[in-house]
Structure 1
Amino acid sequence: MRVQVDVRTIHGSTPLCHACAAGSIESVKLLVDHGASINPSLTALTASPLHEACIRGNPDCVQLMIDKGALLEAFDIYFGTPLHAACAKAHFDCALLLLNAGARVNATKFHETALHHVARAERVDLVELLVEFGGDVNITDNLGHKPRDYTKLESPASLCLLHYESNPLSLQQLCRIVLRTVLGTRALELIPKLDISQRIIDYLIYKVP
């Protein structure tokens, strides 16, 4: 008797969605090995397995889903993209994995970006991460609000965003962002093959010394 590995609950979630939400990497691997869909069709009530891993803050599951071809821009009605979900829940490791894999840092849901989410969460580390990957601190949502408008006055996150609004990124930072944007999801594959020094390669792939 063949098991229906992609059988759905009444709300449309698959076993892989639940395994990613639970952070059970062994269950995730087992389901994938038996043909579970990495990108099941989404409904008004469901999120993708990658979304679920990001919402719950399970970086091992996030990386495995990315490696298996999960759609980085899959759109969930409630959160938006997986990056939106990771940032709304303030999961730094998950956001970093998505960005390094080529997720669009300025993707919008109702004109709201991941920076708007981390501003609400008052997470300076995530603000800095998103800006390093090209996050636009001046972009406005459907209410005309910039990310800084969602921070507390004079809070560390507010001051951090104000700094980036007032001080442009360096030329080398801008060049890195442009190159990573052009290469997209193949950046980590192609950059190490460039005929340049290892130090520059490490910088381009955001490798911390």
Structure 2
Amino acid sequence: MTEIENSQQYFFGDIGCWSERTEVHKAASLGQASQLQHLIESGASVNMVAVDSITPLHEACLQGQTQCARLLLDAGAQVDARNVDGCTPLCEASSAGSLECVRLLLDRGAKANSILTSRTASPLHESCLGGNSDCVKLLITVGASLEAYNLYYGTPLHVACAYGHTDCVKVLLNAGAKVNATRLHKTPLHHAAKNMRVEMIEMLVEFGANIYARDQTDKKPLDYTTPGSPSAACLKLYETTPMSLQQLSRVAVRSRLGTRALKVVHQLEIPKLLISYLCYQ
């Protein structure tokens, strides 16, 4: 029996042949650039996958180790390698909030809009999960989809609101994210209300959020607040006080312009004060 077991063939890709974590993985994760360079020069593979298909580049990006990520890429690391959950190194760098890593990966051809699966979030989702507004700005600049849809979270705006990251919410809204996007009929405003974020509630409504939207349980955003709380008072005020014609006009203009708004508004031949107002400044 022992002889049979010892003679059994194993192939690359079988779980038994995967390294739990190679020295290259460790050096990349710890930011040991000199050690990593030595391993690469000694012939170590930069694309060896550990359990869950994690590559050394995933490890470096998750820890924000830009120098190691650059060494790996220079040595031929696959920039869009996916782990078992479908996450790319760009997703990991975005989650970690490493702006330098994100910029490096994009410069090397990483896709800002990777194909999503039921288990995958986009790099923009990951940035919003971590509240990394600078990464959000950079990803939007290179064309990251504002409406990328994740089955668990919804859109990046849903994520930013659910996790209470007001700075990310502002960046997304100014870039033209759909304020009334839904997941199971739940809007970003439902999340902001549930999290008692008054500033976020005000921001969403000013951008045209529907305060009467009902989710799959027939609840309005107000229904998710605690009676007597500042967030409840804020939503009640909006319900009893219609938006001004000025506010409605801004929402209409911004809705019409969509993702082109910030670029187009500055080209309009109108007073600077109006431009500032249209840009929510």
Could you tell me the TM-score, scaled by structure 2's length?
0.73
* d(CA) in 1 for partners of 2:123, 2:144: 8
- 2:162 corresponds to: 88
Which digits, 9 at most, give the CA deviation of each residue in 1:54-91, with x for residues without a partner? 01100000000000100000001111000000000010
For 1:164, the aligned partner's letter is Y
Which stretches of structure 1, 4 residues or longer, exceed 3 Å deviation after superposition? none
- 1:59 corresponds to: 133
* d(CA) in 2 for partners of 1:165, 1:141: 17
Which digits, 9 at most, give the CA deviation of each residue in 1:90-131, with x for residues without a partner? 100000000000000000000000000011100100000000
Deviation of residue 3 (structure 1)? Answer: 2.2
After TM superposition, list the pairs within 5 Å mapping 1:42-53 onto structure 2: 42-53=116-127
SS at match of 2:266: helix
Which digits, 9 at most, give the CA deviation of each residue in 1:165-198, with x for residues without a partner? 1111110000000000000000000001111000
For 2:111, the aligned partner's letter is S
In structure 2, runs of 5+ residues without a counterpart are 1-74
* d(CA) in 1 for partners of 2:235, 2:89: 40
* d(CA) in 2 for partners of 1:128, 1:140: 18
Deviation of residue 142 (structure 1)? Answer: 1.1
- 1:115 corresponds to: 189
The answer to which of 182-191 and 2-11 deviates more is 2-11
Counting matched residue pairs gives: 207
For 2:200, the aligned partner's letter is L
- 1:72 corresponds to: 146
SS at match of 2:216: coil
- 2:94 corresponds to: 20
Does residue 179 (structure 1) correspond to residue 280 (structure 2)? The answer is no
* d(CA) in 2 for partners of 1:132, 1:32: 33
* d(CA) in 2 for partners of 1:93, 1:121: 15
SS at match of 1:193: coil
In structure 1, runs of 5+ residues without a counterpart are none
Q: Which has the higher contact order (CA 8 A, sep 6+)?
A: 1
Superposed CA RMSD in Å reads 0.6
SS at match of 1:139: coil
* d(CA) in 2 for partners of 1:52, 1:9: 15
- 1:136 corresponds to: 210
* d(CA) in 1 for partners of 2:129, 2:222: 23
Equivalent of 2:272, from 195, 198, 205? 198
Could you tell me the TM-score, scaled by structure 1's length?
0.98
SS at match of 1:38: coil
* d(CA) in 1 for partners of 2:151, 2:243: 33
Equivalent of 1:165, from 233, 239, 248? 239
* d(CA) in 1 for partners of 2:152, 2:143: 22
